[in-house]
Amino acid sequence: MNNTEVVVERDPASGLPLERRPRTDFPTYIGPATHLAEERTRLSALTWEHFDARMMGATIGAELTGIDLTGDLPQTAIDEVAAALAAYKVVFFREQAFTPAQHVAFARNFGELEVHPFIPSNTDQPDLVRFEKDADTTGYENQWHHDVTWRECPSRATVLRAIEVPEVGGDTLFADMYAAYEVLHPDVKAELDGLEAIHDFVQAFGRNVPEDRMAEMRERYPEMTHPAVCTHEVTGRPYLYLNRTFVHRFAGQTRPESVDRLDRICRMSDTPEYQCRFHWEPDSVAFWDNRAVQHLACSDYWPETRVMERASIVGERPRR
């Protein structure tokens, strides 16, 4: 017989503040993400003419159905996809059997495309970066990041298509950087006000550059300074713009002086309440705002094969 005596009458959370708050002993936040309620309600009320949308996270991610991206879309449909992207931060599509040319054509509806100097491309389409993972080439994209923040004008948005994927594993996670900034304690926001970070391609790609080309690449792609908190050019909302992949240090500080602060702030992406997760199938497509979200590709499928192609849309220089 169990003789344990229950000495409480209420849930342990009863009476605690209705807000997410920082712990005093760890650099993490706990408690209800009540700051998401208004945005979740707004997104839940949205309706669309050219597709249907099913939300995937409280404030981030929606799967759009009823639209074929492989053909010529009317401008009204393109504009509505762009509006959905601004609202949900990342949108997903299934059964979009793109040819490489169709992939590029769809992405070009939203702006000029970039060519990545440090990742191989599709042999027929230099605008398509090709990620081909197998037992010999494993995935190292499994940390939170915005893409190509080492550029003066990083990507505005990205269109990623699955070509061959494992049945289990290889999901991609996305994190809402508006929500991550909004929850910060006022003291932390004050700490970030005016703070600038130095981004460097060498952090991730230096080992791939031939030694006799490094000086040339350094001249083409020097260290780049961007604000730690930026203002989105479409929505006008502030978002965190820091990642461990490409940020080397904070302006005016050394690398050792910057690491603890960078890690503490980057932990905001780890919060499940600000995330959605997408399981890939062949011909699935993800279209994300490279400013409003960070992403992480799960590397849990070795030694299986995972082949993806990505078109990235050139953006503006991030601004405070």
pLDDT in tens, 279-316: 999 999 999 999 999 999 999 999 999 999 999 999 99
Q: Kindly state the DSSP code that residue 145 receives in the 8-state scheme.
A: B
Q: Which tens digits make up the pLDDT trace of 230-268?
A: 999 999 999 999 999 999 999 999 999 999 999 999 999
Question: Domain total for the chain?
Answer: 1
Q: Which of 147, 176, 200, 289 is catalytic?
A: 147
CA atoms of 46 and 215, how far apart (whole Å): 50
Contacts of 226 (CB under 8 A, 6+ apart): 149, 154, 196, 197, 199, 241, 317, 318
Is residue 193 domain-resident?
yes
CB neighbourhood size of 268 (10 A): 24
Q: Residues 300, 177, 188, 223: what is their CA dihedral angle, to the nearest 10 degrees? A: 80
289 is catalytic: no
Q: What is the CATH number of the domain that holds 221?
A: 3.60.130.10
Is residue 294 domain-resident?
yes
Is residue 308 domain-resident?
yes
What range does the domain containing 309 cover? 48-314
Q: Give the CA distances from residue 109 to residues 64, 70, 304, in Å, rounded to whole numbers and listed in that order.
A: 17, 12, 33
147 is catalytic: yes
Q: Kindly state the DSSP code that residue 149 receives in the 8-state scheme.
A: T
Residue 255 contacts residue 248 (beta carbons within 8 Å)? yes
CA atoms of 182 and 232, how far apart (whole Å): 14
Segment holding 196, helix H or strand E:
strand 196-199
Is residue 281 domain-resident?
yes
pTM (predicted TM-score): 0.94
pLDDT of 13 above 80: no
Is residue 22 domain-resident?
no
Q: Which of 116, 226, 261, 295 is catalytic?
A: 295
CA atoms of 191 and 200, how far apart (whole Å): 23
Is residue 298 domain-resident?
yes
146 is catalytic: no
Is residue 176 domain-resident?
yes
Q: Which of 145, 156, 261, 291 is catalytic?
A: 145
145 is catalytic: yes
Burial 97-119 (b: 16+ CB within 10 A, else e): ebebeebbbbbebbeebbebeee
Is residue 12 domain-resident?
no
